[in-house]
């Protein structure tokens, strides 16, 4: 989730928050925005480098809510519809997607109405995290996601509590959605959708090759490895690995631990 206002105003923020390569496709860039102008202006900056933009209407963190970002936007359907409409009108290429990720209202019928308004404004697809703004670890509402799927014609993606391939199949069967999205689960195990229970060593090797060949910033390079190795390192090893400050230090550790 990239903060659109900062992204527009600061070259440093753009360099810090958004890097890609010609092989990174399809790529969708997600923005937090509180005005139509900000979303359009942020989109203008990334259009040449991606295949779509997504508006975050789901982040429940207090700082985001206080700034008018994230989940608070589900209570501002007319604003969100205008943000989608103006962004859709700005991008001539109809193959470029403009989508929304949202959370549920306490009254799920309001979320269905919200989804219909988003569709009418020209959204390409909708992702639904099956919890309300206040919920954190409560079970995802499959029924609410299913109701939204049935109410709109555009594709609906389900999100929440997907940590294994079996979870993905289960939520798909329960909701009849067009796809599923994983966050923490795919960070912990990028090979999850291939059926692996934890990150295989081959996946770690692939990440090293991709990151080093594309010049990925160290913080991103290291951060993803911290997630991937979470289940395979001892507590003492995690403590040491997590504070490493250079790519050479990381590579030395991995060579000594895994001979890679």
Integer CA distances (angstroms), 199 to 204, 223, 240, 242, in order: 7, 15, 20, 17
* pLDDT tens sequence across 91-141: 989 899 999 999 999 999 999 999 999 999 999 999 999 999 999 889 999
3-state secondary structure (DSSP) of residue 250: helix
Res 23 pLDDT > 90: no
HEC readout, 80-135: HHHHHHHHHHHCCCCCCEEEEEEEECCCHHHHHHHHHHHHHHCCCCEEEEEEECCC
Residue 111 and residue 33: Cα distance in Å, rounded? 20
Q: What is the pLDDT of residue 16?
A: 85
231 and 188 in contact (C-beta within 8 Å)? yes
d(CA 66, CA 230): 32
59 given a catalytic annotation:
yes
**pLDDT per residue as tens digits for the range 146-205:** 999 999 999 999 999 999 999 999 999 999 999 999 999 999 999 999 999 999 999 999
Give 28-42 pLDDT, tens digit per residue. 999 999 999 999 999
**Among 50, 57, 59, 72, the one annotated catalytic:** 59
Model pTM? 0.92
């Amino acid at each position: 989730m990239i903060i659109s206002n900062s992204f527009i105003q600061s070259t440093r923020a753009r360099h810090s928050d958004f890097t890609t390569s010609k092989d990174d496709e399809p790529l969708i860039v997600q923005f937090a925005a509180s005005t139509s102008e900000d979303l359009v202006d942020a989109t203008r900056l990334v259009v040449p480098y991606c295949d779509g933009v997504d508006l975050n209407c789901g982040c429940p963190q207090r700082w985001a809510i206080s700034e008018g970002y994230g989940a608070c936007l589900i209570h501002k359907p007319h604003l969100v519809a205008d943000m989608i409409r103006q962004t859709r009108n700005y991008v001539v290429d109809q193959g470029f997607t403009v989508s929304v990720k949202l959370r549920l209202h306490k009254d799920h019928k309001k979320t269905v109405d919200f989804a219909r308004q988003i569709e009418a404004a020209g959204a390409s697809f909708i992702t639904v995290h099956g919890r309300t703004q206040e919920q954190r670890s409560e079970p995802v509402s499959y029924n609410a996601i299913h109701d939204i799927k049935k109410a709109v014609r555009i594709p609906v993606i389900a999100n929440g509590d997907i940590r294994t391939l079996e979870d993905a199949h289960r939520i798909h069967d329960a909701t009849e959605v067009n796809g599923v999205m994983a966050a923490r689960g795919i960070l912990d195990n990028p090979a999850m959708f291939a059926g692996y229970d934890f990150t295989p060593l081959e996946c770690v090797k692939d990440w090293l090759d991709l990151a080093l060949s594309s010049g990925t910033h160290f913080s991103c390079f290291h951060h993803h490895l911290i997630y991937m190795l979470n289940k395979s390192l001892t507590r003492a090893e995690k403590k040491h690995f997590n504070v490493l400050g250079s790519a050479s230090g990381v590579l030395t550790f991995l060579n000594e631990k895994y001979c890679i």
